[in-house]
Amino acid sequence: QQQQQQQQEGNACGEGDDTNTNSNSTRGGDGLVEWVLVEMQGIVKARDGLCLDGMPFADIKIEGKEATMLVGQHLMTGRVEDLPKPFVVMQKQSHSERRPEDEQNMVSYGVNAVIRRKIHFKTEPKPLVRNITL
């Protein structure tokens, strides 16, 4: 029912707003927003089948080159690595001043962010078990 409501509101995966604002982004020395790529094995799914697009799904803690990620009741450990070549995150820019009689279609892209590092989680998640008193 919630999934149907999300789809009706235009918030389903792949629909709606294309901009992804991340409050944890930092700016590099060149003034660009800097993101970090997360590499891991497997698939991240929500239990109730809702879309996770743009929603936080884990807590990540970085200490030096070591990283830990808590996803629900599972813990993963990994390493922060520099990418050999940086990636840029780009978005197609709209041109409202374009006229149909223009011979060439002008297309431009704006740089939203740069990715210079990744966190590589090589191992499977370890389940966290808590003592439960009945």
The string of pLDDT tens digits covering residues 78-87 is: 999 999 999 9
Q: How far, in Å, are 8, 45, 78 from residue 40 at the CA level?
A: 32, 14, 9
Token readout for 34 is 């800097």
Q: Could you give the 3-state DSSP secondary structure of residue 80?
A: strand
Position 15 pLDDT exceeds 90: no
CA-based nearest residue to 16, from 67, 55, 73, 71: 55
The tokens 């709606």 sit on which residue?
16
Quick: pLDDT tens for 54-110: 788 889 999 999 999 998 888 999 999 999 999 999 988 876 665 666 556 678 888
The alpha carbons of the chain give a radius of gyration, in whole angstroms, of 20
